[in-house]
Amino acid sequence: MSNAGLRKAKHQEIFDALLQDIETGRYRGGEQLPTEHSLVKRFNASRPTVSRAVQSLVQMGLVHRRAGSGTFVRQGAVNGRRVFGLLVPELGDSEIFEPICGHIARQIQRLGHALQWADSNPNSNHRQTAETAADACRGFVDRGVAGVFLAPFVTPPGTDNPNETIVETLRKAGIAVVLLDRDIVQFPQRSDLDLVGVDHVRGQARMTEYLIKSNHRRFGYWVWENVADTVQNRSAGILRALTAAGIPIDPQMIQPCDPTDRVQVTRLMKSQKPDAIMCANDVFAAHLMRTLEEMDIRVPEDVSVVGYDDVLYSHLFRVPLTTISQPCEKIGNAAAQLMLERIAHPELPPREVLITPSLSIRESTTSRDDSN
């Protein structure tokens, strides 16, 4: 990596300088920060860049804005307050992490601490994203954060795995780590880090049971290429529910698929003849339902479609989506609690907290009374 790749972004330089000013008492609790116009001159930066740096301080709970008055340092902004980092390198690849991270931030701030989000670029390739994450990790070390919430990379076969490098950097600095959703190692291995996520196997089993009770008998489980372990492991829930119901298991049921590829979808529909398709997530389901509509295949009359995550817009689809709802608030609260307990008791064994999701039943599924 070139030296240029290690340079801090301008907004990060401004943030670090202002954070140091607050920590050293240059700006005390209750005092007003300089105006953005003044900061533009001080740092020779654009107004949007300055505004972004100040907004990071707001997100951390160190300053607050008063409409028409300016930005002020919160009382007790530093004393007794810990700062934590949040690193979700592939934030743009999943709709579910943003609400989870929001709940972590609210819980951390409610407990009197602060949270700093690392930058992510949804348009970067895997290598660029890994380099950005490594830079953010070093930034957390430089700022002496107490802990980092990390959603590990999904590492495609044949590519470098940056997760262990990131964790090792944090370990050497004595920074606690809590993993979100998945581990840094492949199932069935388990790292020695705390992890909070969803009981994916149980959630997918409950969805499958619902579909069975609705008289579905021919199932497809269609996922993206190179999905996370958590998505792959959901298939265990499907298999357990089918076995319990005495329904024969089609070995071709689980298929990697591009839901926008009409040729591929056509082939799978002809070979599997599913009456219910369980999708990797809601985004996959949205693309699939559009492709099916182009093929004149009706949802749910011809085939039921279900998603996973229950993102904000899933009930706004032309056919509102039946899906598995992830308990984002509970995940965020549990992650914050695990982090504080880990810092207070570093000798504790690694813990894994799995929260059971719920079902959101909507119009993309229907009962098949005429099923064989």
Q: Which fold has domain 200-326?
A: Rossmann fold (3.40.50)
Identify the band that residue 372 occupies on the pLDDT scale cut at 50, 70 and 90: very low
Q: Mean pLDDT throughout 123-144?
A: 79
For 37, the enclosing helix (H) or strand (E) is helix 36-43
The pLDDT of residue 344 is above 60: yes
Q: What are phi and psi of 315, to 5 degrees?
A: -85, -5
Q: Mean pLDDT throughout 277-289?
A: 96
DSSP string, 44-86: T--HHHHHHHHHHHHHTTSEEEETTTEEEEPTTSSTT--EEEE
Q: Residue 96 has what pLDDT?
A: 83
Q: Residue 127 has what pLDDT?
A: 67
The pLDDT of residue 35 is above 70: yes
Identify the band that residue 11 occupies on the pLDDT scale cut at 50, 70 and 90: confident
Q: Residue 134 has what pLDDT?
A: 87
Distance CA 195, CA 189 (A): 13
Q: Residue 3 has what pLDDT?
A: 39
DSSP string, 210-265: HHHHTT---EEEEE-TT--HHHHHHHHHHHHHHHHHTPPPPTT-EEE--TT-HHHH
Q: Residue 155 has what pLDDT?
A: 76
Q: Mean pLDDT throughout 144-171?
A: 87
Length of the chain: 372
Q: Residue 320 has what pLDDT?
A: 96
Q: Residue 171 has what pLDDT?
A: 93
pLDDT digit string, tens, across residues 246-255: 999 998 999 9
Q: Residue 110 has what pLDDT?
A: 81
The pLDDT of residue 55 is above 90: no
For 180, the enclosing helix (H) or strand (E) is strand 176-180
Domain span(s) for CATH 3.40.50.2300 in the chain:
200-326
Name residues whose C-beta falls within 8 Å of residue 266's C-beta, 6 or more positions apart in sequence. 295
pLDDT-above-90 percentage for the chain: 57
Domain span(s) for CATH 1.10.10.10 in the chain:
1-68
The pLDDT of residue 39 is above 80: yes
Q: Mean pLDDT throughout 274-287?
A: 96
Q: Does domain 1-68 have CATH number 1.10.10.10?
A: yes
CB 340 within 8 Å of CB 111: yes
Q: Residue 80 has what pLDDT?
A: 58
CB 224 within 8 Å of CB 280: yes
